[in-house]
């Protein structure tokens, strides 16, 4: 596939900020999807590409931003177009992961819109349309996976970059899928094992969302083991804090900000750290109520309020806020000794605040 | 990931036959999966790897055999280890495709055993176990996809081989997914449009199963456009014939040979060429019966017998046999002018017979 890099050619690291990264990544994605559509010549493909393009609108682009930051942190200066294309490839992979995640969780909404399997099932809900929606959404996810690879392979990487990046991407994929599997196994089987919830968090979020994108960006700049270790020291605590914030937003967030119902996680019976803490601190009556309510597929707002009251009474909500703060501090401290460029350190400090204090 | 090629190092093209290819590919797959398991250190990963290894046992390995044949056809002589590893990567990708295919078709059996989503759902069937089985099977498929890529990237390809093969693999993935999407859309909406069924066939099977594996093998040997075109001239008619045989086996095959129930395709309402031919040749009464029976999720053997009687009475079954034979002849004729090695031509002729006259 012919590469289109014109749109990113004007970026230089000097003017780098998250907004610019988002815009450049979006341009790469739009151009790529337009090419996919053009090449296929199949009417049906148009529908899939449109769906995927709509789905990808409005994401936070945190992984692309971290990829570019990792590259900048490790002193990357030339070859920004390739970095942006690799970053776009990670965003396309993330679209795959989210589409399949929504199928597994049977979620109705994502980013304020119906999930892909719901859109494909159409307005007339019956067994046949639901099955079609499910199967077609599995496929749209698969296509996003295949296309993320295609973006990667058309990134004009040097052999050294390819070799470093491909093995990191292989690790990242296996890690996030293992994390997802652990999460799926834990869903609906509530446990007070806080460590187990943190292990899922580490694989599914901390490594996937923060550590690996930073590593991949740093590897593109030819980073050595010391820089990679510094990425990890910052990324893992921040990533855990990011997921803990996500857990809180799933229960306390404003649907206007988060774009998803604050009943979804509770109805699905997500065994978050918040739930595990409440179960381990609760008295037998509180634990019994939690076990009855969390995972109830028809839980209503009154039930959710009762759960929130138990989270407050057991101190679980406050404990999670403390855990977020501890991890935030740890991430920021790791930057003190990190062999990163000054601009990157400033940006990573800002990002640590956004990632842990966000509302969406 | 460290590459293990010892087991394939003793193969030389001189002793090449399908049995040797199958054995070498299986060894690469077993070693790779053992490494995945070892590296993860997660108990849960063991279960996934075991499942995938069991699932992959007993496949026909037609794509790996064709990859090696394509390489041999184009005069490939050195670097057989890399070719076998790429072939193994295609087989791993095929495991992904089948696992997701079974989810989309809601099939119960594959290769004589329960499908992956059924195994994961366990023996106690209820809404929750079914959902877990479905989600976990989507993930096992995703892992197989990711791992097929990892096998590919550790195949020690030269830059020229990489560049040729990666773009062919990108095409192959998009084609098979598009074919699958067209198939899914057509399922349950019976039509007498024979050409439409042949388009699905071309994307989903002819290109994916026969043409692309041959192309990929030939590209590994540095084949030029003439050789690639000769691969296509042989592969597309043979691939169509292969799928038409599959359609017949889905309705007339012996479950002992095929490993899958001969009610599955009919119950799922697969809009095969066979069905389209019967609908276009049938009188109104026959068409109405077909529309009532094909796609009935609780169709029994008596209903299937009635469908088979209509396939016979309308001449649809015989017409499909003729189509298979025409395409078989066309594939074999294409070999007459193909710039392939003599050994490859002999093997490809044999394969054309096996692929079109098989019982499983």
In chain B, where the domains are located? 15-357
Judge whether A140 and A48 are in contact, CB under 8 Å. yes
Determine, for residues B44 and A1 on separate chains, whether the beta-carbon distance falls below 8 Å.
no
**Which chain B residue's Cα is nearest to A136?**
B181
Q: How far is B115 from chain A (nearest CA, A)?
A: 16
Residues of A in contact with B131 (CB under 8 A): 106
- The DSSP element (H or E) to which A227 belongs, if any, is helix A225-252
CB contact under 8 A, B180 and A139: yes
**CB contact set of A47 (below 8 Å; sequence gap of 6+):** none
**Chain A, nearest residue to B141 by Cα:** A142
Asked if residue B332 lies in contact with residue B350, where contact means CB atoms within 8 angstroms, the answer is no
Question: How far off is chain B from A149, nearest CA to CA, in Å?
Answer: 8
User: Contact A139/B44, CB-based, under 8 Å?
Assistant: no
Q: Do A104 and B139 touch (CB under 8 A)?
A: yes
Q: Counting runs of H as helices and runs of E as strands, what totals does chain B give?
A: 17, 2
| A143 neighbourhood in chain B, CB within 8 Å | 174, 177
CA–CA gap between residue B43 and residue B37 (Å, rounded): 9
Q: What is the pLDDT of residue B275?
A: 97
Element (H, E) at A177: helix A159-186
The reply to whether residue A166 touches residue B153, judged by beta carbons under 8 angstroms, is yes
In terms of CA atoms, which chain B residue is nearest residue A99?
A: B138
d(CA A203, CA A183): 10
- Pick the closest to residue A360 from A223, A249, A222 (CA basis): A249
For residues A199 and A195, what is the distance between their CA atoms, to the nearest angstrom? 6
Please state, in angstroms and rounded to a whole number, the distance separating the CA atoms of residues A270 and A276: 10
- pLDDT at residue B302, as a whole number: 96
Q: Is the pLDDT of residue B4 over 60?
A: no
Contact B153 A143 (CB under 8 A): no
Cα(B152)–Cα(B308) distance, integer angstroms? 43
Which chain A residues have a beta carbon less than 8 Å from that of B44?
Answer: 178, 181-182, 185
Residue B9 has pLDDT above 60, yes or no: no
Using an 8 Å CB-CB cutoff, list residues of chain B that contact chain A: 1, 36, 40, 42, 44-45, 48, 100, 103-106, 128, 131-132, 134-136, 138-139, 142-143, 145-147, 149-150, 153, 159, 166-167, 170, 173-174, 177-178, 180-182, 184-185, 187-188
pLDDT digits (tens, 9 = 90+) for B212-269: 999 999 999 999 999 999 999 999 999 999 999 999 999 999 888 888 788 988 998 9
pLDDT digits 0-9 by tens, B65-79: 999 999 999 999 989
State how far the Cα of B142 lies from the Cα of A144, in Å rounded to an integer.
Answer: 12
Predicted local confidence at residue B287, as pLDDT: 97
User: What is the C-alpha to C-alpha distance for residues A252 and A264, in angstroms, rounded to an integer?
Assistant: 12
DSSP B11: -
A336: distance to nearest CA of chain B, Å? 32
Encoded tokens for A312: 């407050």
Query: What's the rounded Cα separation, in Å, for the pair A247 and A240?
Result: 11
Q: Is B247 in contact with B280 (CB distance < 8 Å)?
A: no
How many angstroms separate the CA atoms of A31 and A209, rounded? 24
Q: For residue A5, what pLDDT is reported?
A: 40
Which residues of chain B neighbour A147 with C-beta distances below 8 Å? 174
Cβ-contact B300, B327 below 8 angstroms: no
Task: Please state, in angstroms and rounded to a whole number, the distance separating the CA atoms of residues B248 and B245.
Answer: 5
Q: Are B293 and B299 in contact (CB under 8 A)?
A: yes
- CA-closest candidate to residue B130, choices A175, A109, A289, A130: A130
What one-character-per-residue DSSP string does B120-146 give? Answer: HH-SS-SHHHHHHHHHHHHHHHHHHHH
In the structure encoding, which two tokens stand for residue B106, read together? 């809601």
At residue A16, the pLDDT reads 59
Distance (Å) from the alpha carbon of B123 to chain A's nearest alpha carbon: 16
Distance CA B107, CA A135 (A): 12
Helical (H) or strand (E) element with A203: none
List the beta bridge partners of residue B246: none
pLDDT score of A47: 86
Query: Looking at beta carbons, which residues of chain A come within 8 Å of B184?
Result: 132, 135-136, 139
- Residue among A36, A145, A153 whose CB faces B145 most closely: A145
Q: What is the mean pLDDT of residues B268-294?
A: 96
Interface test with B, best of A181, A187, A190, A199 (most B CBs within 10 A): A181
| C-beta atoms of B167 and A185 within 8 A | no
Among B198, B111, B131, CA closest to A267: B131
- For chain A, list residues whose CB is within 8 angstroms of any CB belonging to chain B: 1, 36, 40, 42, 44-45, 48, 100, 103-106, 128, 131-132, 134-136, 138-139, 142-143, 145-147, 149-150, 153, 159, 166-167, 170, 173-174, 177-178, 180-182, 184-185, 188
- The C-alpha atoms of residue B283 and residue A348 are separated, in whole angstroms, by 72
φ, ψ of residue A309 to 5 degrees: the values are -65, -40
From the list A103, A104, A139, the residue facing B177 with the nearest CB is A139
Domain A15-357 belongs to what architecture?
A: Orthogonal Bundle (1.10)
The first and second tokens of residue A360, run together, are 């969406």
Contacts of B45 in chain A (CB under 8 A): 178
pLDDT truncated to tens, each residue of chain A (360 aa)? 344 443 444 444 444 578 889 999 999 999 999 998 887 777 778 888 999 999 998 788 999 999 999 999 999 998 999 999 999 999 999 999 999 999 998 888 888 889 999 999 998 888 889 999 999 999 999 999 999 999 999 999 999 999 999 999 999 999 999 999 988 888 878 999 999 999 999 999 999 999 999 999 999 999 999 999 999 999 999 999 999 999 999 999 988 888 878 898 899 898 999 999 999 999 999 999 999 999 998 999 999 999 999 999 999 999 999 999 999 999 999 999 999 999 999 999 999 999 999 888
* Residue B101 token pair: 């295919």
CB contact under 8 A, B45 and A178: yes
Mutation target to probe the A interface, by most A beta carbons within 10 A, among B104, B130, B165, B176 is: B104
Contacts 24+ apart (CB under 8 A), B248-255: B248/B274, B248/B317, B248/B320, B248/B321, B248/B324, B249/B358, B249/B359, B249/B360, B251/B304, B251/B307, B251/B308, B251/B311, B252/B308, B252/B317, B253/B359, B253/B360, B254/B359, B255/B112
Res. B14: pLDDT tops 60: no
Residue with tokens 């965003």: A91
**DSSP annotation string for A79-137:** -HHHHHHHHHHHHHHHHHHHHHHHHHHT-SEETTEE-HHHHHH-SS-SHHHHHHHHHHH
Shortest alpha-carbon distance between residue B194 and chain A (Å): 18
Closest CA to B235 of B16, B73, B26, B23: B73
pLDDT for B16 equals: 60
Question: Between the CA of residue B171 and those of A10, B165, B168, what are the distances in Å?
Answer: 31, 10, 5
Contacting residues of A for B104, CB less than 8 Å apart = 134-135, 138-139
Q: Cβ–Cβ of B177/A142 closer than 8 Å?
A: yes
Give the pLDDT of residue A2: 40
Task: Decide: B260 and B107 in contact? Cβ < 8 Å.
Answer: yes
User: Residues B343, B75: contact at Cβ < 8 Å?
Assistant: no
Distances from the Cα of A286 to the Cαs of A64, A191, A272, A274, B342, in angstroms?
42, 14, 17, 14, 77
* pLDDT for position A127: 83
Q: Do B36 and A149 touch (CB under 8 A)?
A: no
Helix A159-186 vs helix A127-153: angle between axes, to the nearest 10 degrees? 150
Q: Write out the E strands in chain A.
A: 109-110, 113-114
- In degrees, rounded to 5, the angle at the alpha carbon of residue A75 between the alpha carbons of residues A69 and A81 is 60
Which chain A residues contact residue B185 at CB under 8 A?
A: 44, 132, 136
Torsion of CA B325, B326, B329, B330, to 10 degrees: -150
Q: Are strands B109-110 and B113-114 parallel, antiparallel or unpaired?
A: antiparallel
- Number of neighbouring beta carbons within 10 Å of residue A175: 19
Residues in contact with B176: Cβ distance below 8 Å, sequence separation at least 6, in sequence order: B97, B203, B204, B207, B208
Cβ-nearest to A177 among B1, B142, B178: B142
Average pLDDT over residues B173-195: 90
Q: How far apart are CA A180 and CA A99, in angstroms?
A: 13
- Quote the minimal CA–CA distance from B104 to chain A in Å: 5
Residue the block writes with tokens 């995640």? A101
Q: Cα A229 from chain centroid?
A: 22
Q: What is the ipTM of this complex?
A: 0.91
Yes or no, beta carbons of A188 and B128 under 8 Å apart:
yes
Instruction: Give the pLDDT band of residue B38 (cuts 50, 70, 90).
Output: confident
Q: Model confidence over B339-355: pLDDT tens digits? A: 999 999 999 999 999 99
B185-212: b (≥16 Cβ within 10 Å) or e:
bbbbebebebebbbebbbbbbbbbbbbb
Identify the pLDDT of residue B187. Answer: 82
Geometric angle at alpha carbon B217, from B213 and B221, rounded to 5°:
160
Confidence check: pLDDT of B24 > 60: yes
Question: Is A178 in contact with B40 (Cβ distance < 8 A)?
Answer: yes
């Amino acid at each position: 596939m012919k590469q289109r890099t014109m749109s990113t050619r004007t970026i230089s690291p000097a003017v780098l900020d998250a907004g610019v990264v988002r815009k450049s990544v979006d341009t790469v994605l739009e151009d790529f999807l337009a090419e996919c559509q053009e090449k296929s010549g199949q009417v049906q493909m148009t529908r899939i590409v449109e769906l995927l393009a709509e789905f990808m609108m409005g994401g936070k682009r945190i992984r692309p931003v971290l990829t570019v930051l990792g590259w900048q942190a490790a002193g990357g200066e030339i070859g920004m177009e390739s970095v942006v294309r690799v970053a776009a490839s990670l965003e396309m992979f993330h679209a795959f992961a989210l589409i399949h995640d929504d199928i597994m969780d049977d979620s109705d909404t994502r980013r304020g819109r119906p999930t892909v399997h719901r859109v494909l099932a159409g307005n007339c809900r019956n067994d046949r349309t639901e099955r079609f929606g499910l199967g077609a959404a599995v496929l749209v996810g698969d296509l996003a996976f295949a296309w993320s690879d295609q973006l990667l392979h058309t990134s004009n990487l040097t052999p050294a970059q390819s070799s470093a990046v491909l093995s990191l991407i292989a690790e990242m994929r296996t890690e996030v899928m293992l994390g997802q599997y652990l999460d799926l196994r834990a869903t609906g089987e509530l446990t007070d094992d806080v460590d187990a919830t943190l292990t899922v968090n580490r694989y599914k979020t901390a490594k996937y969302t923060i550590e690996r994108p930073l590593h991949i960006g740093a590897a593109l700049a030819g980073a050595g083991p010391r820089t990679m270790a510094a990425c990890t020291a910052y990324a893992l605590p921040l990533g855990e804090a990011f997921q803990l914030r996500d857990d809180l937003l799933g229960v306390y967030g404003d649907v206007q900000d988060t774009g998803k119902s604050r009943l979804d996680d509770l109805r699905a019976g997500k065994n978050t750290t918040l739930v595990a803490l409440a179960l381990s601190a609760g008295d037998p009556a509180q634990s019994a109520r939690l076990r009855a309510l969390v995972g109830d597929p028809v839980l209503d707002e009154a039930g959710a309020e009762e759960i929130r009251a138990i989270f407050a009474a057991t101190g679980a909500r406050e404990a999670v806020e403390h855990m977020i703060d501890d991890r935030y501090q740890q991430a920021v401290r790791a930057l003190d000794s990190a062999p990163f460029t000054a601009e990157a350190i400033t940006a990573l400090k800002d990002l640590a605040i956004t990632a842990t204090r966000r509302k969406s």
